[in-house]
């Protein structure tokens, strides 16, 4: 299960806390040290861990906790609160443009899961009785267009492709025009994977953004990503201003550090979690439920 | 109990650098302790010497005697495994290009019959590199593709057959069983072929790569690791605890999306870049 390692470590720490009647400052320091290690071992970003632990420490050392009759419970509640807010607090639903068409654009590193997620989103949006177009803007990866076409067929959504055109910006413009002419409610742009440090390709995203003015630019992040997750998210956010994040491959046994880091550094919500390779494996992300699950509550 | 100018703050900074490179908490501690030892023992005070001491420690870990780089003996079959999206199919194209450039006959097997357009993707690569491919339709049994490819490679006197497999998360038992079946079929060909199994790891991944290595190694007895996407900003530090625990050699690194973007893994260079 995802978060398993983190979950069991944190719960061990809590067990120790609950076993004690009253807590001393030393107990809390020891507990926060253990929490810090657990988070680091779970790939939560180093900087995120530092500020997280500082928050816990400050709140837990507050007079109320030390005087409380159930101090262990109080600390657990604080950690639960902080974890929830770290992952964005309230769940955020995907919104549609009140008038006209809604334009979504999926971006991310190579292999993050964009094309698959495009299909999953199409299936999800179709269930809300909306007409969805998938636009194939990856001209680089061999058979990327074909991949989207196969996926489009699987979810019964039309795919706009132009195999003659080599410029993704032009394809995006054509796709948008096509979508407008054919009264689509939603169009989803699948873009090629790219490194956040690749200036030329990042600039291409800026160009696509300019020409199709997406309502939502959504970063796909592989849940297995390590410490780099925050740099990736920060850079994409700086360059093209994200509206949210989708965590993919959360069906693995990853320790979930990326999940805990990305929302907090970008301030952008985690909209969905990818839970498998099937095109129905997409779930709305609930920060509070995820926190409770990690803490075994 | 270590000398002079290198105080706790210095080691905390070092800790931060190591953890931010995905080396993991345990290996980070190990590296720090070993560095402290060297600093104390050799009474080092110079910053450059300290840096060298750290690099030395890292190189030691990366350069275990028991996991020397192995040259491929032909005829060979190479099975490429790994989790989703790490770069398996692209790496196969790079390897095919490399071996073909050495004058060897290479053949590919499209063992990913699951992912949308995975066969077409490998087909395009085969065409670009100029090597034959054995394939079947999406949805076909991957083991039978591997079986057919082994027969074809044998009868055509192929030097190296490289088999693609579908990406699979190591915690999915059914998919790992399917992989085990492919592995058995390949093992059965060992009277004719030298068998190699490479795990592809993404340099961007965190400590989950340790779990990946453990499970894939159990199922397919890995001969080597290929670390992809090192052209990104992630340093691939996860390879350090992996080497420490599993002693599986890193054979190649991927540094881009083109067929030429494959390099031999050189521990010295890796250690240098880690502390740039
Ligand atoms: N287990 C699992 N696999 C996933 C999930 N999402 C995507 N994948 C797999 O991850 C791999 C990469 O997915 P793609 O959709 O091709 O990723 P991409 O971001 O479009 O890749 P590029 O276009 O090459 O950058 C495929 O094998 C997918 O089946 C998920 O939520 N869980
Ligand atoms: N920057 C960079 N990208 C790479 C590298 N190797 C592969 N990629 C990209 O990563 C993405 C996924 O590569 P694939 O070869 O399809 O990965 P895979 O492991 O076969 O994926 P699945 O079959 O879906 O599990 C593609 O966009 C590749 O171009 C590399 O070394 N550097
Ligand atoms: K890198
Ligand atoms: Mg794609
Ligand atoms: Mg593949």
- What are the Cα distances from residue A148, in Å, to A154, A161, B88, B169? 10, 9, 19, 22
Mean pLDDT over the full length of chain B = 92
- For the segment B220-230, the average pLDDT, to the nearest whole number, is 96
Listing DSSP states for B141-166 in one string gives -HHHHHHHHHHHHHHTT-SEEEE---
Per-residue tokens: B252: 């190649």
Choice between A69 and B161, residue whose per-residue pLDDT is larger:
B161
CA angle B267, B103, B158 (to 5 degrees): 100
Residue of A53, A224, A246 to mutate, interface with B, max B Cβ within 10 Å: A224
pLDDT at B274 over 50: yes
Asked if residue B3 has pLDDT above 50, the reply is: no
Q: List, for residues B39-53, the tens digit of each pLDDT value.
A: 889 888 887 888 888
| pLDDT-derived band at B2, boundaries 50, 70, 90 | very low
pLDDT in tens, A117-161: 999 999 999 999 999 999 999 999 999 999 999 999 999 999 999
- Binary contact (A222, B205; C-beta < 8 A): yes
User: β-strands A244-248, A186-191: how paired?
Assistant: unpaired
Residue for token digits 């302790």? B33
B207–A249: do the CB atoms touch at under 8 Å?
Answer: no
A228 and B85: CB-CB below 8 Å?
Answer: no
User: Is the pLDDT at B179 greater than 70, yes or no?
Assistant: yes
pLDDT (0 to 100) of residue B45: 81
Whether B207 sits inside 8 A of A252 (CB atoms) is no
One DSSP character per residue, A187-251 reads EEEEE----TT-HHHHHHHHHHHHHH--SEEEEEEETTB-TTHHHHHHHHHHHH--SEEEEE-TT
- Verify whether the Cβ–Cβ distance A146 to B25 is below 8 Å: no
Cβ of residue A147 closer than 8 Å to a chain B Cβ: yes
Give A249 Cα–ligand 4 centroid separation in angstroms. 15
pLDDT of residue A195: 98
Rounded CA-CA distance B243/B60 in Å is 10
pLDDT for the residue numbered B50: 85
Which tokens in the block code for residue A141?
A: 């990866």
Contacts of B239 in chain A (CB under 8 A): none
Q: How does residue A22 score in pLDDT terms, banded at 50, 70 and 90? A: confident
Among the residue ranges A129-133, B22-26, B190-194, the one predicted with the least confidence is B22-26
Q: Between the CA of residue B155 and those of B150, B161, B190, what are the distances in Å? A: 9, 12, 15
Residues 6+ apart with CB under 8 A from B161: B75, B76, B77, B78, B106, B107, B108, B109, B149, B150, B153, B193
Query: Which atom of ligand 1 lies closest to the CA of A275?
Result: 31
Q: What is the pLDDT of residues A249-289, one digit of tens each?
A: 999 987 778 878 999 999 999 999 999 999 999 999 999 98
Q: Could you give the count of Cα atoms lying within 13 Å of B106 in the half-sphere of its Cβ?
A: 24
| Predicted local distance difference test score (pLDDT) of residue A2 | 66
Please, which residues 233-252 of chain B have a Cβ atom closer than 8 Å to chain A? 233-234, 238
ipTM of this predicted structure: 0.95
Looking at residue B159, its pLDDT comes to: 98
User: A217 C-alpha vs ligand 2 centroid, how far in Å?
Assistant: 22
Chain B residues within an 8 Å CB radius of A258: 206
Task: Write the DSSP symbol of residue A141.
Answer: S
Q: Is B258 part of the contact surface with chain A (CB cutoff 8 Å)?
A: no
User: Which residues does chain B have within 8 Å of residue A232's beta carbon, measured at their own beta carbons?
Assistant: 204
- Label residue A72 by pLDDT band (50, 70, 90): confident
The predicted-structure confidence for B64-110, as pLDDT tens digits, reads as follows 665 556 679 999 999 999 999 999 999 999 999 999 999 999 999 99
pLDDT above 90 coverage of chain A, percent: 71
- Site of tokens 């632990």: A53
Q: Is residue B227 within 8 angstroms of chain A, CB to CB?
A: no
Mean pLDDT of all residues in A240-255: 92
Ligand 2, residues B93, B121, B129, B257: which to mutate, most atoms within 8 A of Cβ?
A: B257
Binding site membership of B114 for ligand 1 (Cβ less than 6 Å): no
Closest CA–CA distance from residue B11 to any residue of chain A (Å): 15
E-assigned strand segments in A5-99: none
Burial of B78 (0-12, 13-18, 19+ CB in 10 A): buried
- A7's enclosing H/E stretch is helix A4-19
Task: Round the average pLDDT of chain A to a whole number and report it.
Answer: 93
CB nearest A46 (choices: B20, B124, B207): B20
User: What angle (nearest 5°) sits at the alpha carbon of residue A257, between those of residues A256 and A258?
Assistant: 95
Nearest-CA distance A111 → chain B (Å) = 4
Using a cut of 0.90, tell me whether the model's pTM lies above it: yes
In tens, the pLDDT along A77-115 reads: 999 999 999 999 999 999 999 988 999 999 999 999 999
Cis peptide before B189 (omega within 30 of 0): no
Is residue B172 pLDDT above 80, yes or no? yes
Q: What's the rounded mean pLDDT across residues A217-237? A: 96
**Is pLDDT at B265 greater than 70 in this prediction?**
yes
pLDDT at A145: 98
Which pLDDT band holds residue B1 (cuts at 50, 70, 90)? very low
Three-state DSSP at B32 gives: helix
Across A16-20, average pLDDT: 83
A195/B231 touch (CB, cutoff 8 Å), yes or no: yes
* A contacts of B128 (beta carbons < 8 Å): 142
Cα–Cα distance for residue pair B156/B266, rounded to 1 Å: 35
DSSP reduced 3-state for A62: coil
Indicate the residue of A115, A140, A226 with minimum beta-carbon distance to B234.
Answer: A226
The least confident of B96-105, B230-239, B265-274 is B265-274
Give the integer Cα–Cα distance in Å for A259 and A250. 9
User: Which residue out of B83, B90, B162, B179 has the highest number of ligand 2 atoms within 8 Å of its CB and is therefore the one to mutate?
Assistant: B90
Q: Which residue has the tokens 């993404």?
A: B202
State the pLDDT confidence band at A202, using cuts at 50, 70 and 90: very high
User: In sequence order, which residues have a C-beta less than 8 Å from that of residue A151 and are 6 or more positions away?
Assistant: A115, A116, A118, A119, A134, A279, B116
Query: Quick one: pLDDT at residue B11?
Result: 84
């Amino acid at each position: 299960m995802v978060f398993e390692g983190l979950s069991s470590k944190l719960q061990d720490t809590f067990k120790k806390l609950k076993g004690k009647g009253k807590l001393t400052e030393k107990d809390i320091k020891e507990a926060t040290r253990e929490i810090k290690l657990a988070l680091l071992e779970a790939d939560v970003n180093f900087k995120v861990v530092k500020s997280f632990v500082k928050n816990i420490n400050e709140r837990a050392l507050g007079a109320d906790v030390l005087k409380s009759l159930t101090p262990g419970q109080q600390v657990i509640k604080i950690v639960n609160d902080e974890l929830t807010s770290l992952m964005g607090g309230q769940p955020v639903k995907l919104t549609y443009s009140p008038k006209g068409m809604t334009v979504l654009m999926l971006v991310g590193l190579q292999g993050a899961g964009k094309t698959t997620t495009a299909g999953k989103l199409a299936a999800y949006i179709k269930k809300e009785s909306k007409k969805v177009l998938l636009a194939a803007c990856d001209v680089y990866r061999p058979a990327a267009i074909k991949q989207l076409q196969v996926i489009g067929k699987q979810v019964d959504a039309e795919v706009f492709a132009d195999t003659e055109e080599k410029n993704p910006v032009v394809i995006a413009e054509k796709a948008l025009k096509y979508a407008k002419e054919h009264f689509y409610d939603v169009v989803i742009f699948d873009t090629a994977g790219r490194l956040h440090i690749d200036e030329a390709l990042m600039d291409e995203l800026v160009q696509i953004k300019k020409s199709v003015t997406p309502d939502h630019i959504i970063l796909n992040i592989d849940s297995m990503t390590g410490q780099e997750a925050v740099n990736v998210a920060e850079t994409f956010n700086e360059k093209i201003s994200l509206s949210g994040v989708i965590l993919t491959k959360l069906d693995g046994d990853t320790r979930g550090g990326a999940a805990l880091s990305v929302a907090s550094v970008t301030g952008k919500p985690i909209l969905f979690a990818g839970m498998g390779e099937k095109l129905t494996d997409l779930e709305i992300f609930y920060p509070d439920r995820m926190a409770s699950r990690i803490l075994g509550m | 109990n270590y000398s002079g100018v290198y105080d706790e703050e210095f080691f905390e900074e070092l800790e931060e650098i190591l953890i931010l490179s995905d080396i993991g908490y345990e290996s980070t501690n190990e590296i720090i302790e070993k560095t402290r030892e060297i600093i104390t023992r050799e009474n080092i005070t110079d910053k450059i010497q300290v840096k060298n001491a750290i690099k030395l420690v890292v190189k030691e870990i990366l350069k275990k005697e028991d996991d020397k780089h192995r040259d491929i003996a032909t005829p060979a079959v190479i099975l490429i495994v790994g989790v989703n999206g790490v770069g398996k199919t692209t790496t196969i194209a790079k390897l095919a290009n490399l071996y073909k450039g050495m004058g060897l006959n290479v053949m590919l097997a499209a063992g990913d019959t699951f992912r949308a357009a995975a066969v077409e993707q490998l087909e395009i690569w085969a065409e670009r590199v100029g090597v034959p491919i054995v394939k079947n339709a999406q949805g076909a049994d991957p083991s039978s593709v591997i079986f057919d490819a082994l027969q074809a490679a044998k009868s055509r006197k192929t030097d190296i057959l490289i088999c693609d497999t579908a990406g699979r998360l190591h915690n999915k038992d059914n998919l790992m069983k399917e992989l085990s079946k492919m592995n058995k079929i390949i093992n059965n060909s060992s009277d004719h072929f030298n068998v190699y199994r490479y795990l592809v790891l993404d340099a961007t991944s965190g400590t989950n790569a340790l779990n990946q290595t453990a499970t894939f190694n159990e199922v397919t007895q890995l001969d080597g690791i290929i670390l992809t996407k090192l052209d990104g900003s992630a340093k691939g530090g996860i390879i350090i605890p992996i080497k420490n625990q599993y002693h599986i050699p890193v054979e190649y690194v991927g540094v881009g999306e083109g067929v030429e973007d494959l390099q031999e893994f050189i521990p010295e260079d890796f250690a240098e870049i880690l502390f740039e």
